[in-house]
């Protein structure tokens, strides 16, 4: 099947490098988490998002959007986090169908333990590759990419 969109080869190469770098960096950080006996980065994302939320709680639908998971994947992850005592579910007082995920003290402590390893991994596998004078440029490019991706298609 032929497409009408043309893509310069250098952009395709850059895209592949970006995807590969992203995957490899996350793999290395996850490896460090595993070696420290800590849970997955998916767990960290949920714990961090709840820690930053007002009252350490968020509706499951909002949480799914923030951590970039489907609702069903988030539900399974929340089940595991709840079994581990890192969060609890609470009913929304003004919406019988709505459920909040609420971070526990154990969840806060786990997020903080995980952050030590995560921050070290970010510093080692990401920050060392970006000279200080390039940080603002890189951030601007990422913000543009996100803005384009979040615009509705016309």
Contacts of 85 (CB under 8 A, 6+ apart): 104, 106, 107
DSSP state of 86: S
Structure tokens, 44: 């960290």
Dist CA 48 CA 149 (whole Å): 23
- Structural domains in the chain, CATH included, are 9-150 (1.10.10.10)
pLDDT digit of tens for each residue in the chain (154 aa)? 455 578 999 999 999 999 999 999 999 999 999 999 999 999 999 999 999 999 999 999 899 989 988 888 899 999 999 999 999 999 988 877 889 999 999 999 999 999 999 999 999 999 999 999 999 999 999 999 999 999 998 6
């Amino acid at each position: 099947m032929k497409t009408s969109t043309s893509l310069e080869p250098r952009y395709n190469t850059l895209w592949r490098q970006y995807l590969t770098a992203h995957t490899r960096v996350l793999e290395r950080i996850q490896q460090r988490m595993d070696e420290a006996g800590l849970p997955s980065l998916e767990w960290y994302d949920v714990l961090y998002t709840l820690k930053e939320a007002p009252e350490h709680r968020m509706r499951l639908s909002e949480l799914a959007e923030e951590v970039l998971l489907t609702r069903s994947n988030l539900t399974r992850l929340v089940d595991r986090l709840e079994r581990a005592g890192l969060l609890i579910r609470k009913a929304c007082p003004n919406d019988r169908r709505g459920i909040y995920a609420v971070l526990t003290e154990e969840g806060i402590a786990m997020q903080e333990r995980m952050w030590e390893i995560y921050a070290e991994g970010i510093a080692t596998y990401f920050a060392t590759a970006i000279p200080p004078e390039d940080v603002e440029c890189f951030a601007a490019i990422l913000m543009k990419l996100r803005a384009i991706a979040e615009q509705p298609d016309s």
